[in-house]
Chain A
Amino acid sequence: MQGLESFFEVGLNHYLILSTLLFACGLAGVLLRRNVIVIMMSIELMLNGVNLSFVAFSKYMAMLEGQIMVFFVMTIAAAEAAVGLALAVAIFKRFREVNIRYFEQLKG
């Protein structure tokens, strides 16, 4: 039963599958939802899916670069959230709703 054991033993593939699922969930949220806040949360989910794969690779290949990259991603994510939320607040103030279609008003 060597195969079955190795199947249940947590390895790199499991992390990668989980990371892909997280990323796909996030992508689906970005594409399908209309609420700006939810879209931003979905982006966060995608970023974290990627972060997970970075960390997993870092661990299994015994290299630190992946973890350093994760810090960068988290920093950028925080900045992005700050800007995005500011926009969302501005939109909400004007339209009393945070639907993504109001961003079309920004077109020239």
Chain B
Amino acid sequence: MDAQFFLIVLLFSPLIGFLINGFRYRHHSANVAGIIATAAAGLSFLAALALVFQLVNFAADSQAGTSAVHRRLAVDLFQWLDVGLLKVSASFVIDPISAIMILVVTGVGSLIHLFSIGYMHHDAGAAKYFAYLNLFLFNMLVLVTGESLPVMFVGWEGVGLCSYLLIGFWFTDEQKAAAGMKAFITNRIGDAAFVLGMFILFFAIGSLSFQTLNEGARRFADEAPLGWLHPITLATLFLFIGATGKSAQIPLYVWLPDAMAGPTPVSALIHAATMVTAGVYMIVRLNALFMMAPLTMMIIAIVGALTAVMAASIGLTQWDIKKVLAYSTVSQLGYMFLACGVGAFSAAMFHLMTHAFFKALMFLGSGSVIHAMHEEQDIRKMGGLRKALPITHATFVLGWLAIIGIPPFAGFFSKDEILWKTFSSPLGHPLLWVVGAAGAMMTAFYMTRLVALTFWGESRVPKGVHPHESPPTMTIPLGVLGVLSVVGGWLGIPHLIGSAMPFHTDNILESFLAHSIVPLPGGESSDSSLEVGLMLTSVVLASAMAGLAFLFYAKKSTAPARIAEALGGFYRLVYNKYFVDEAYFRALINPLMRASQKLWYYVDVSLIDRTTYVLSDTIRGGGSFVRSLQSGNLQQYALYIGLGVVTVLSIILVRG
């Protein structure tokens, strides 16, 4: 069967699932709704598998003739927009970049759907929840398979909507509803920039399809280096601002920690594995364009590195299990942007994939813990859960080893590739490597702290709470993701290690992506002793930090409290998230609110309303006067006729 059939199945089976569950939103059974939704997601996953299989085979078929195979399946559904010069068709493309994404989105998505059946078991709004989840999947797939910026933008906005709906899923809690709004509004700022970027690109290149954009970008190669005000630099900067909104980077990251108000599987699916990576994906998709703008690349790398280290530092101090994971997500996304910024796009995609596995695993694990603890999220009230939740514990540990970068777990390969490229790429800088390594050390510390406080040490569980292992619908996804967190990294074993291994496994992922990604201008640096050195340094540092955290938190130790006290003001600054929210309120939101209030009072009420009232009063007064003329009294009418005749006659007489 052809690609079009599979693509339609891929896209529309979640949409149909959404419609079915959407129409039966009043039903309460989580099992029925969950099975429908999970089946839709599973079908979509099968279609994704079929498409990727075709894509790989496609290469094998034509490899005989040329070495540079352009793996690409394009499907054109219909002409969507045709306005003047702007012609956009609803076309979708499966190439190596989107192939990875559809596998991650539908694969991890299906597992999370399955997990949700157990997690949302007691919730009366389960059908609504699963409908939103399916709708999210549909929009995310439109985002990743769309072949032009406008089609991507449809999915981009759609996932934003679903994120809003699901963060505020328990909207009777005002705080949760507010968190949903915060996410939505923060994303709007980024989206406005995204649209501006699209406008500029359309003016500069004349088309919005990814292929034309990436090819059109080469036209500007002669003008290099492009200055700050060159349209390509501006457009890529605007697109990057859009990405900072969606992917929670400085300065628009503030919504993601609050987004943890949603159900935990949602945090795993949307706010860890898929939606928040959309910004990274967009930059990788337009990699040739971004490579044309080295200034933008520099900004991306700096913002990514800063976000990575800042979010990690906040993560060190938080007590809420989901908040720690949320800041960890922001930090890991920072690494992906750092990779994009130094031109290591395949490393960014690689980390995106492994991160999707281990972070979804950890979120689901935290969901399992929260479920077992009866909605308790404070890790100070946990501890020693290893015995009560053996499966959750075992899988969580796999995720922990993956994220702190212990070989041979997934995170080691992807994070190390990013750090190495940051150091060695012509666009990179050793200073960025130092920042990235510092972030990695902090990651090791706070993740160990989280695991130690939750699962190890002595139990601090309050009396009356009896944690119990979750049902199989929840533990099976944990197991699958746990395995993926171990083996996921083996797709991208660096050449250095691969060549030393008996089977000589090369970097499969990089060669898969090779033809979709522009190579670095200066070529690859191949100082293998330096690479080994850096690799060992980061592993040793991470292990040391993990050991330190283990000593601090798994054993009874007063050291953390003493350090916090010694740092005093600085600790409070970090604990309160650098007061960024407060600063935003002070500098932007409150003045805006006050200005809006003034505008409302002086312009809306005093000017516009009053004008319309005066106008309506005048017309009503006139109307009632005219009405009084038409009384139905015949003699009065005759009088008017008489007066009219007299008037007309006198006019005639006077004018002669």
Q: What residues make up the interface of A, taking CB atoms closer than 8 Å to B?
A: 27, 30-32, 100, 103-104, 107
B638 and A107 within 8 A (CB): no
- Which residue in B632, B634, B639, B642 is a CB contact (below 8 Å) of A100? B634
Given A31-B639, A104-B633, 12 more pairs with CB closer than 8 A: A27-B642, A30-B635, A30-B638, A31-B635, A31-B638, A31-B642, A32-B635, A100-B634, A100-B635, A103-B634, A104-B632, A107-B632
**The 9 nearest A-B residue pairs measured at CB:** A31-B639, A31-B635, A27-B642, A31-B638, A30-B638, A107-B632, A104-B632, A100-B635, A31-B642
Task: Report Cα–Cα, A100/B633, bound state, in Å.
Answer: 9
| Inter-chain contacts of A100 with B (CB < 8 A) | 634-635
Residues of B within 8 A of A31 (CB): 635, 638-639, 642
What CA separation (Å) do A84 and B638 show in the bound complex?
17
Q: How far is the CB of A27 from chain B (nearest CB, A)?
A: 6
Interface residues of B (CB under 8 A from A): 632-635, 638-639, 642
Shortest Cβ distance from B639 into A: residue: A31
A24 nearest in chain B by CB position: B642
- On chain A, the residues within 8 Å of B634 by CB distance are 100, 103
Nearest B residue to A33 via CB reads B635
Q: Which residue of A lies closest to B645 (CB)?
A: A27
Give the residues in chain A near B633, CB-CB below 8 Å.
104
Q: In the assembled complex, which residues on chain A have CB atoms less than 8 Å from the CB atom of B639?
A: 31
**B635 / chain A contacts, CB cutoff of 8 Å:** 30-32, 100
Which residue on B lies nearest to A34, using beta carbons? B635
A100 vs B632: C-alpha distance when bound (angstroms): 12
Q: Which residues of A contact B638 (CB under 8 A)?
A: 30-31
With A and B bound together, what is the CA distance between A8 and B122 in angstroms?
Answer: 115
Residues of B within 8 A of A32 (CB): 635
Instruction: Report A3 CB to chain B, min CB distance, Å.
Output: 24
Listed A/B pairs (14) with beta-carbon separation below 8 Å:
A27-B642, A30-B635, A30-B638, A31-B635, A31-B638, A31-B639, A31-B642, A32-B635, A100-B634, A100-B635, A103-B634, A104-B632, A104-B633, A107-B632
Q: Bound complex: CA of A30 vs CA of B635, how far in Å?
A: 7
Complex Cα gap A32–B635 (Å): 8
* B interface: dominant SS: helix
* Closest Cβ–Cβ distance, residue B627 to chain A (whole Å): 16
Q: Which residues of B contact A103 (CB under 8 A)?
A: 634
A107 CA to B634 CA in the complex, in Å? 11
Q: How far is the CA of A27 from the CA of B632 in the complex (A)?
A: 19
Q: What's the least CB distance linking A37 to chain B, in Å?
A: 15
A104 contacts across to B, CB distance below 8 A: 632-633
Closest-by-CB residue of B relative to A27 is B642
Q: Which residues of A contact B632 (CB under 8 A)?
A: 104, 107
* Complex: chain A residue closest to B642, CB-CB: A27
Q: Kindly state the separation between the CA atoms of A93 and B634 in the bound complex, as whole angstroms.
A: 22
> Smallest CB–CB gap between B648 and chain A, Å?
15
A101: nearest chain-B partner, CB-CB: B633
Least CB distance, B550 to chain A, in whole angstroms: 96
Most chain A CB atoms below 10 A, which of B633, B635, B638, B639: B635
Closest CB of chain A to B640's CB: distance in Å? 10
The interface centre, meaning the residue of A31, A32, A103, A107 with most chain B CB atoms within 10 A of its CB, is A31
Q: How far is the CA of A104 from the CA of B633 in the complex (A)?
A: 8
CB distance from A96 to the nearest CB of B (A): 21
Q: How far is the CA of A27 from the CA of B644 in the complex (A)?
A: 13
Cα of A107 to Cα of B642 in the assembled complex, Å = 23
Measured between beta carbons, the chain B residues less than 8 angstroms from A107 are 632
Distance, CA A17 to CA B632, complexed state (A): 33
Interchain CA distance A27-B635 in the complex, whole Å: 10
Inter-chain CA distance A32–B642, complex, in Å, is 13
Question: Considering the chains assembled together, what is the distance between the CA atoms of A107 and B638 in angstroms?
Answer: 17
Docked pose: A103 CA to B633 CA in angstroms: 10
Please measure, in the bound complex, the distance between the C-alpha atom of A104 and the C-alpha atom of B634, giving whole angstroms. 9
**Assembly CA distance A103 to B642 (angstroms):** 21
In the bound complex, what is the Cα–Cα distance between A74 and B652 (angstroms)? 29
Chain B: CB-nearest residue to A103: B634
In the complex, what's the smallest C-beta–C-beta distance from A41 to chain B, in angstroms? 15
Min distance, Cβ B8 to any Cβ of chain A, angstroms:
64
CA distance A7 to B642 in the complex (A): 30
Set of chain A residues within 8 Å of B642, measured between Cβ atoms: 27, 31
Collect the chain B residues with CB atoms within 8 Å of residue A30's CB. Answer: 635, 638
Minimal beta-carbon separation of A107 from chain B (angstroms) = 6
* Bound: A31/B645 CA distance, A: 14
In the complex, A27 Cα to B643 Cα: how many Å? 11
| Distance in Å: Cβ of B336 to nearest Cβ of chain A | 79
Q: Roughly how many angstroms separate A27 CA and B646 CA in the complex, as a whole number?
A: 12
Closest Cβ–Cβ distance, residue A63 to chain B (whole Å):
23
Closest to B635 in A: A31
Residues in B whose Cβ lies below 8 Å from that of A27: 642
- In the bound assembly, the distance between CA atoms of A108 and B164 in angstroms comes to 60
Distance in Å: Cβ of A99 to nearest Cβ of chain B: 12
For the complex, give the distance between the alpha carbons of A107 and B632 in Å. Answer: 8
Minimum CB–CB distance for B462 against chain A, Å: 82
Q: How far is the CA of A80 from the CA of B642 in the complex (A)?
A: 20
Chain A proximity of B357: nearest CB distance (Å) = 81
Residue of B with least CB distance to A107: B632
Candidate in A27, A32, A103 with the most chain B CB atoms within 10 angstroms:
A27
Nearest Cβ in chain B — how far from A103, in angstroms? 7
Q: How far is the CB of A17 from chain B (nearest CB, A)?
A: 15
| CB proximity of A62 to chain B, nearest CB, Å | 26
**How far apart sit A103 and B638, CA to CA, in the bound complex (Å)?**
15
- Report the bound CA distance from A22 to B632 in whole Å: 27
Closest chain B residue to A28 by CB distance? B642
- How far apart are B642's CB and chain A's nearest CB, in angstroms? 6
Minimal beta-carbon separation of B209 from chain A (angstroms): 68
Instruction: Quote the shortest CB–CB distance from B116 to chain A (angstroms).
Output: 68
* Nearest-CB residue, chain B, relative to A104: B632
Query: Roughly how many angstroms separate A107 CA and B633 CA in the complex, as a whole number?
Result: 11
**Which of chain A's residues has its CB closest to B636's CB?**
A31
How far is A104 from B632 in the complex, measured between Cα atoms in Å?
A: 8
* Interchain nearest-CB distance for A70 vs B (Å): 21
